[in-house]
Amino acid sequence: MKVSVIIPCYNQALFLPKAIASLQAQTLEEWECIIVDDGSTDNTAEVASNLALQDSRIRLLQKINGGSASARNLGLQQVRGEYIQFLDADDYMDSDKLQKQYQLMQSKRADMCYTAFRHIYADGKESIVHFSELTQTNILTGWGLGKSIPPHAFLYKTTFVQSNYLRFDERCRYREDWGWLIDCFDAHPKIAMMPEYSGVYYSHNETGKTGSYSKMQSGNFTFMAHKSCYLSGTKKLLWAFRISEEIWIWLLRMAKYRSTVIAKCILLLDIRWTIAAILLMPLSFWWILAYFIKTYITK
């Protein structure tokens, strides 16, 4: 078995068939798909079960609702492939995605590989998002600010994941993919990049955790408060810098929308982290200014 694909599902009956169709269209056919129904209240389990009956490569696991992190972790316990692919039920891939990454990782003996991606908006418009090289520093300071890459753009060597005991953090239901990558880079992986290939599609789902700016930012602050308890050394300084960036974004959005909803999330932060972030705000202002110019003016 070459690739194990893990799809966490919570009330995704409408989108799941398209994700599976993109998987079944892959030129690399030696894959298994583990659909994890995370206690859905719609007919997701029924849809997944029917898909599994039609294709022996598909398996359905069911569990009580615990969040996408716990669903992915259950899938990780069941993988049998050489490589691991995460795929959300409302996203999909080009037909040669797995083949291209598999061949590149084999030739370079890489632990993980990532591609560019296409952002699909609710109105059907799309934009190709390229990237610069990911490092531990820009994952800590730039994730969500032009450095984000969706989970299905990556492919992981199974032995790398298992030997480093990598799992998604189930203690926080926000930005678990961000936390996963921080942990991955802590393990010093050998990385292969495909910056010009945009073989995955990331759908903007308005009902999801990133469906609006307020949802995204409340999730960011919640995750930052949680992750700050588990960082050490220079990562603490980088994390305080990232929090200062988020505070700038909150202030700018509050000025524009006259909203104080996110203010409650800032209170989740330990006072020491808040003070450190405020002290770093004169420096992070220039980073945020450059981000806003690139995102909203020169784009």
CATH number at 58 reads 3.90.550.10
Establish if 120 belongs to a structural domain.
Answer: no
pLDDT in tens, 59-80: 999 999 999 999 999 999 999 9
Q: Among 152, 207, 218, which Cα is nearest to 11's? A: 207
Alpha helix segments (H runs only) across 8-154: 16-24, 44-54, 68-76, 97-108, 136-142
Number of domains in the chain: 2
At residue 28, φ and ψ (nearest 5 deg) are -90, 110
Residues 237 and 278 in one domain: yes
CA torsion through residues 32, 33, 36, 37, sign: negative
Both 178 and 239 in one domain: the answer is no
> How many whole angstroms separate alpha carbon 263 and alpha carbon 271?
14
Per-residue pLDDT at 294 = 74
pLDDT at 212: 58
Res 129: pLDDT: 78
Residue 206 lies in a domain: no
pLDDT digit string, tens, across residues 181-212: 999 999 999 999 998 888 899 886 555 554 45
Residue 208 within a domain: no
Which residue segment(s) compose the domain that 83 sits in? 3-114+129-192
Res 124 pLDDT > 70: yes
Asked which of 161, 192, 223 is the last residue of a domain, the reply is 192
Q: Are residues 83 and 143 in the same domain?
A: yes
Both 29 and 176 in one domain: the answer is: yes
Contacts of 283 (CB under 8 A, 6+ apart): 241, 244
For residues 12 and 138, state if they share a domain: yes
* pLDDT at res. 191: 96
Q: State residue 256's pLDDT score.
A: 67
pLDDT of residue 1: 86
| Boundary residue ending a domain (162, 192, 222) | 192
Percent of the chain with pLDDT over 70: 92
**pLDDT of the residue at 74:** 98
Same domain, yes or no, for 58 and 170?
Answer: yes
Residue 92: inside a domain: yes
Mark whether 88 and 226 lie in a shared domain: no
Per-residue pLDDT at 225: 93
Q: Which residue has the higher pLDDT, 217 or 227?
A: 227
Residues 186 and 217 in one domain: no
Sign of CA dihedral 153, 212, 73, 17: negative
Is residue 201 situated within a structural domain?
no
Residue 110 confidence (pLDDT) above 90: yes
236, 139: one domain = no
Domain assignment present for 199: no
Residue 148's pLDDT is 85
Asked whether residue 103 falls in the same domain as residue 175, the answer is yes
Between 180 and 290, the more confident residue is 180
Question: DSSP letter string over 26-69?
Answer: -S---EEEEEEEES-SSSHHHHHHHHHHH-TTEEEEEE----HH
231, part of any domain: yes
Query: Tokens for 144?
Result: 């969500």
DSSP line for 228-285: GGG--THHHHHHHHHHHHHHHHHHHHHHHH---TTHHHHTTS-HHHHHHHHHHHHHHH
pLDDT of residue 58: 98
pTM over 0.75: yes
- What are the two backbone dihedrals, phi and then psi, of residue 284, each rounded to the nearest 5 degrees? -70, -20
**What sign does the dihedral 191-197-200-202 (CA atoms) show?**
positive
- Evaluate whether residue 205 is within a structural domain: no
